[in-house]
């Protein structure tokens, strides 16, 4: 029987691998806990695309190993087919077929017969995208345009509202991408995912370190309620995204519409960051300049200079509380699809960053009812005016 992943892990060991993987542990951490190389752990997890394999179950009508051992003993004792069948309360034809398909009375072995039955019972169900070529074409077309599986799934429900055959969940799309053994969606489509991951990861992981103190920082808890409840456009969240060789860009996202602005900055120092933010924010209409929420990074130490130049009030999150600007955290993950870790960010001009932002702003979002941030912002501005 073919083993899952590299040899050396027992079924119990593999179960422990999956338990730790779901808990968010790394390959290295799991390997240390089990006394195995990280590569062995990767081999087990990668084979299944990061999804915990479903435990196999035998049909209740199938012969068990215990019954096959009884058949083997009966054959050795010279019992007739009907006598063995009576002992097991099975039909004689069931016993006869079992013996014949496994070498006859002279060669029947219970363990070999049980293993052969287990293998022959493997009949992988064809997944939905394999069965429906039209649906698969639509999914592939949108993935090539850098849509996420959730966006594709939501769009299909709207576009084919009267055709249930053209529905597929985002999890089915992910499985078809990550479990390449299915052979349905091309492997290259993985690189169109915003994270460019090759397997499903646990949602439990990653932290951010503490930041330095900022002079006269106004707490997020003093931010007006209209910013917190996303009722009025013009309230923004911001952060830095880092690249290779200490290069950076700034990201701004409008809380109500999720509209994104990418800002070219010369460096991480507060003078460079504030200069870049002032340049781009001053391009916005006055009614879209109300507040900016930032983390405790010293890149915005000159926040007073920024407020004087733009009339945008700045509020700072609590230390080690990135979820307080969760919209921006999520946006930074979206940006990484186009500017992955290790990218030399200073090679991009502001015009090139604007084109990337436009791609993000024109994509439908689940949180917006699968409308785009650009549409949502235009709607909000029209309503406000």
Enclosing H/E stretch for 351: helix 350-361
Tokens 């900016």 -> residue = 292
Provide the CA 35 distance to its chain's centre, in angstroms.
28
Tokens of 363: 């994509």
Band (379; pLDDT cuts 50, 70, 90): confident
pLDDT in tens, 290-349: 999 999 888 999 999 999 999 999 999 987 788 889 999 999 999 999 999 999 999 999
What pLDDT score was predicted for residue 3? Answer: 43
What pLDDT score was predicted for residue 277? Answer: 96
What pLDDT score was predicted for residue 123? Answer: 60
Q: Is the pLDDT of residue 279 over 90?
A: yes
What pLDDT score was predicted for residue 57? Answer: 72
Q: Can you list the positions of beta strands (E) in the chain?
A: 235-242, 248-254, 260-264, 291-294, 313-316
């Amino acid at each position: 029987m073919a083993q899952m992943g590299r040899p050396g892990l027992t079924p119990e060991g593999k179960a422990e691998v999956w338990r730790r993987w779901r808990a968010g542990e790394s390959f290295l951490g799991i390997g240390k806990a089990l006394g195995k190389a990280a590569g062995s752990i990767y081999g087990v997890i990668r084979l299944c695309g990061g999804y915990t394999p479903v435990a196999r179950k035998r049909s209740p009508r199938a012969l068990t190993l215990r019954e096959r051992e009884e058949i083997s003993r009966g054959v050795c004792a010279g019992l007739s087919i009907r006598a063995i069948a009576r002992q097991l309360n099975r039909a004689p034809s069931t016993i006869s077929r079992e013996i014949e398909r496994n070498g006859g009375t002279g060669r029947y072995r219970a363990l070999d017969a049980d293993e052969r039955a287990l293998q022959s019972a493997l009949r992988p169900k064809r997944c939905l995208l394999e069965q429906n070529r039209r649906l698969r074409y639509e999914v592939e077309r949108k993935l090539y345009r850098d849509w996420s599986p959730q966006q594709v799934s939501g769009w299909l429900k709207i576009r084919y509202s009267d055709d249930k055959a053209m529905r597929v969940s985002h999890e089915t799309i992910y499985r078809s991408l990550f479990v390449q053994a299915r052979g349905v969606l091309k492997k290259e489509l993985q690189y169109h995912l915003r994270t460019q991951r090759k397997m499903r990861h646990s949602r439990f992981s990653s932290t951010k370190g503490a930041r330095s103190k900022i002079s006269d920082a106004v707490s997020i808890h003093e931010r007006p309620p209209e910013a917190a409840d996303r009722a009025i456009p013009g309230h923004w969240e911001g952060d830095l995204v880092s690249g290779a060789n200490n290069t950076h860009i700034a990201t701004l996202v409008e809380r109500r519409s999720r509209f994104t602005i990418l800002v070219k900055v010369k460096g991480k120092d507060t003078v460079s960051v504030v200069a870049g933010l002032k340049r781009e924010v001053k391009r916005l209409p006055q009614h879209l300049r109300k507040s900016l929420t930032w983390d405790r990074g010293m890149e915005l130490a000159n926040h007073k200079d920024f407020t004087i130049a733009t009339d945008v009030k700045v509020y700072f999150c609590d230390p080690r509380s990135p979820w307080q600007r969760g919209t921006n955290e999520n946006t930074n993950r979206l940006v990484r699809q186009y500017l992955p870790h290790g990218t030399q960010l200073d090679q991009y001009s502001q015009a090139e960053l604007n084109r990337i932002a436009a791609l993000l702003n024109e994509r439908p979002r689940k949180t917006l009812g699968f409308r785009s941030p650009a549409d949502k912002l235009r709607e909000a501005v029209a309503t406000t005016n």
